[in-house]
A and B are shown apart, each in its own frame.
Chain A
Amino acid sequence: MKSKKRIASFLLALVLLVLSVPMDALAVPYDSYNYDYWNDVVKTPAPYVPDGSISAVTLGLDKPLANPQDICVAPNGSLYIADTGNNRIIIVSGTTHQVERIITSFDNNGVEDHFSAPTGVCVSKKEQLYIADRENKRIVVLDDADNLVRVVQDPKSDVLGEGFVFKPLKISVDYADRIYCIAQNMFQGIMVFETDGNFSGFFGTIDVTLSLWEKFWKKVATKEERSNQTLYIATEFTGIDIDEDGFVYATNIDKSGEQGVRRLNPKGEDVIKKGRKANVGGDLWIDSVGSYSGPSQITDVVYRGHGIYSLLDRKRGRIFTYDHEGNLLYIFGGLGTQKGTFNTPTAIEQWENGLLILDANRAEIYKFAPTEYGSLINEAVALRHDGDESQAVPLWARVLELDENNELANAGIGKAYLSAGDNATAMKYLKIGMNRDYYSIAFKRYRSELLRQYLGPVLTGTVVLICGIWLFGKLRQRRNFRRKGGEQA
């Protein structure tokens, strides 16, 4: 009897224990964190949480997706999936989330033509579909009724070598219908095609940087030795996106982990702001062990409006989100087998309010929905980008309730107090937000405030004191003199 009771109470305790695990921890299978001023890892609430997935099963397709390589969200909200292994493009409606249509072939001047390993898709502002048809060595442009507009292939130029084979991997199109294409084994940069499909040149070449040590060995090595060394070639671009102003965001795998993304202006110059840490390359702490160590390998980028962009790291399956100043806003995601974690993340897109991550090996697209924390940061940063920083204050205040050490939120609130004239409070928040420049401004105003208040009385007091001491001294001198005089007399 007694032992039965004991077992029952034990089971009850077990059930209570299981129930007491917070639901939130069960829902999110990855760590959400950020780096503070001192580059220490700080855990944050999850900015995005898994929100189901899109796969052949949910879409009701006849055969599963095979190694899909790219996704793209059209201006009208439809999702385009490059089903690379099955040589087709799947279009998912933005409203019903069901298959709208599937493109397997198109009419090429009277001949039925097919794709061969389409690795990249992009939809232009004019609703034209651009497909990087890798094994057919061409870019196919279709209009919204799947009629062929033109085919871009076999680019001719002096800068391209003799035996150059054009194999497009990823493409993006700007507002003027210029095509920006990342081609296989093309280390000279992004290939740009004019509106009419003519190759116009390279764009945003990544310079090779040699370390001092490598330079030394290059000097020392003989010609023979040098020919056996690995070539020092620039890294290839991995992913591409274009913002509304026509600036191209292009990712590359940086072995130093400092710059995983470039923001290229129309001249092809990198104009990205790297922030205080001079780093837009993902993780800062990269020296763990085994295959998990090393810098983040940024494989794709999505521009999300208001200067915010997200990078996808295939090494550790994390998504890094930065603002236009290069501040890291939040980090989430991870590799694994649980729902909401990845095996081989290859592409990222923004769909509706959330994010989509394409996993090539699992042939599945994972959806992520923003939490209150994530959307507050998005909104507040967007307001700051648009110059309405004062409106962001209530948002930052709510962020602080969720994550009281958030430096951006503290700095944001501090700036608001500063412009409202409450310098002492501004100083407090700006100090927690580690914003020296604005702290200095707040302090300067606070100091002059204090001076204005107290300088007059203090100076008057000092003058009175000095006069008093002087007078006192004089009086005593005279008295002493008198006394002395009296003694002498």
Chain B
Amino acid sequence: MKNAFSKEKWAYLRYTISHPMDGFYWIRHQDRGSVPIAILIVICFSLCFSLNRISANFIVNDVYPPSVDSLEELSGILLLYALVCVANWSITCLMNGEGRMKDIAIAVGYGCTPLIPAFLIATALSHVITMEEAAFYSIIIGAGVAYAVILVLIGIMQVHNYTLGKTLQTLVLTFIAILIIIFLCLLLANLIGQVFNFFRYLYIEIIFRA
């Protein structure tokens, strides 16, 4: 654990953000990345996202305040993160991807890094801009999201040693896999519920007869 948050790992995160092609490659081949840091980044991103929704200025913020629940958003984003990683891993396993689960988690987590400053800066900026300058606010968030998307794309590509075309292909399949996983989970939950109900009624029947 101590190793996971070591100075070298943080330094390498910085390197990966600025040199994604090289950075993600050595994450796969030399274990230069750290899963705990990746998860920490996702958590930070979620908090910044909630912060932006609740405290961006009135001029740019059209969110119904009672609808913001940072814990709900955190669990949602973490769940989505886990889903993406699992789905991507299941697809790339079958498509000659070289990345391990660990590498995928790091690639996606590290990729979220630009979103944190983007949301923080945009939220702070929203308090000093007027409506005419609201474009700057959108540009900052847009740039952050674009950078994050590029990072995740390159991350997945380098970790699996894919070409760009094949990466896009696997990402589409990953999306389908996410849907299948959700479907299976719902099915499973339903079935478990029915089994549970069966035993519950059995119990009620026994109680009534006895």
> Hey, which bits of chain A sit against chain B, CB under 8 A?
38, 431, 436-437, 439-441, 443-444, 447
Tell me whether B59 is interfacial, beta carbon within 8 Å: yes
Bound Cα distance A436, B130 (Å)? 10
Contact: A447 with B130, CB < 8 Å? yes
Total A-B residue pairs with C-beta atoms closer than 8 Å?
18
Residues 51-66 of chain B: 1 if any A CB is under 8 Å from the residue's CB, otherwise 0?
0000000110000100
By the criterion of a CB under 8 Å from any partner CB, how many residues of chain B are at the interface? 7
Given A431-B58, A440-B130, A443-B59, 13 additional A-B pairs, CB 8 A: A38-B64, A436-B58, A436-B59, A436-B131, A437-B131, A439-B59, A440-B59, A440-B131, A440-B132, A441-B130, A444-B130, A447-B128, A447-B130
- Interface pair A443/B64, CB less than 8 Å apart: no
Q: Report the separation of the CA atoms of residues A423 and B61 in the bound assembly, to the nearest whole angstrom.
A: 20
A44 to B131, CA, bound (A): 31
- List 18 A–B pairs whose Cβ atoms lie within 8 Å, in order of A's numbering: A38-B64, A431-B58, A436-B58, A436-B59, A436-B131, A437-B131, A439-B58, A439-B59, A440-B59, A440-B130, A440-B131, A440-B132, A441-B130, A443-B59, A443-B130, A444-B130, A447-B128, A447-B130
Determine chain B's interface SS by DSSP, over half rule: loop
**Alpha-carbon distance A440/B128, docked complex (angstroms):** 10
Query: Binary interface profile of B, 110-138, with partner A (CB < 8 Å = 1, else 0)?
Result: 00000000000000000010111000000
Q: Give B96-111 as 1s and 0s: 1 = Cβ < 8 Å from A's Cβ atoms.
A: 0000000000000000
In angstroms, Cα B131 to Cα A444, docked, is 9
Contacts of A437 in B (CB 8 A): 131
Going nearest first, the 7 A-B pairs with the smallest beta carbon separation are A440-B131, A444-B130, A440-B130, A38-B64, A431-B58, A440-B59, A443-B130
In the assembled complex, the Cα of A439 lies from the Cα of B132 at a distance in Å of 12
Q: Which residue of B lies closest to A427 (CB)?
A: B58
Q: How far is the CB of A431 from chain B (nearest CB, A)?
A: 5
* CB of B130 to closest CB in A, whole Å: 4
A431: chain B residues at CB < 8 Å are 58
Contacts of B131 in A (CB 8 A): 436-437, 440
A481 CB → nearest B CB, Å = 33
A447, B128: Cα distance in complex, Å: 8
Rounded to whole Å, the gap between the CB of B34 and the closest CB of chain A is 37
Nearest chain A residue, comparing its CB with the CB of B127: A443
Chain A CB within 10 Å, residue with most, of B64, B128, B130, B132 = B130
